[in-house]
Amino acid sequence: MRETSVVGLVLVAHSEEVVRGVAAMAAQAAPAVPVAGAGGLGGGRLGTNGLEVVAALRHVLAETGTDGVLVLLDLGSAAMATGVALDELDPAERALVRLADAPFLEGAVLAAVEAAGGASLDAVAAAAEGARSMTKWPKD
């Protein structure tokens, strides 16, 4: 058993490479945070697969116990694949999952950093959603 709580992340995107790249950036910022992803349809085809999202959620839930999982989404159908995946979970599992309404890459990195500090699922979700107003190029 871990001594401190740690929220995990599930990354859902249309491309396997996008998921791998963003997971690597999150891992660099916060190596101890469990991250799993679902991206692409295999064979380099772009798309999202709801059953793969279910597997990713269960994989991270197994590592995080009751601390919870935050899901980050890229475009449109990632949300639908995740919606179907949530319906496949047991209510007890479902209660431990939250969806971030956040930019995919920026949200994942900020969430990973927050999770590494032992923050709650609510705080990790807030960190991810804070990425929506992140300034990249301050105008004077």
Partner 1 sequence: MPPEPLGQREPRVAGTGPAAVSVSLAADWLACAARTVHERRTWLTELDAAIGDGDHGINLDRGLMAILADLEAGAMPVDDLGRLLTASGRRLLGLVGGASGALYGRALMTAGTRLTERAATEAPGRRTMAEIALGGAVDGITALGKAVARDKTMLDALLPALETLRAAPAGEPIASVLTRVAAAAEAGAQATIPLVARKGRASYLGERSAGHLDPGAASSAILLRCLADVVAASVDAEARGALR
Size of the site for partner 1 (CB under 8 A): 17
Which positions from 59 to 78 touch partner 1 by CB under 8 A, shown as an x/- string?
Answer: ----------------xxx-
| Cα dihedral sign, 51-67-103-29 | negative
Q: How far is the CB of 106 from partner 1 (least distance, A)?
A: 20
Q: Considering beta carbons, is residue 24 or 80 the nearer one to partner 1?
A: 80
- Residue of 137, 115, 125, 129 lying closest to 6 (CA atoms): 115
Which positions from 99 to 128 touch partner 1 by CB under 8 A, shown as an x/- string?
Answer: ------------------------------
Q: Is 17 in the site for partner 1 (CB under 8 A)?
A: no
Q: Considering beta carbons, is residue 19 or 33 the nearer one to partner 1?
A: 19
Q: Which H, E and C letters describe 22-83, residue by residue?
A: HHHHHHHHCCCCCEEEEECCCCCCCCCCHHHHHHHHHHHHHHHCCCCEEEEECCHHHHHHHH
Strands 35-39 and 97-99: unpaired
Tokens at residue 43, please?
Answer: 């064979």
Q: Is 94 in the site for partner 1 (CB under 8 A)?
A: no
Cβ–Cβ < 8 Å for 70, 124: yes
Q: Considering beta carbons, is residue 21 or 47 the nearer one to partner 1?
A: 47
Q: Which of 7, 8, 26, 48 binds partner 1 (CB under 8 A)?
A: 48
Q: Report the interface residues with partner 1, using CB under 8 A.
A: 41, 45-52, 75-77, 80-81, 83-84, 87
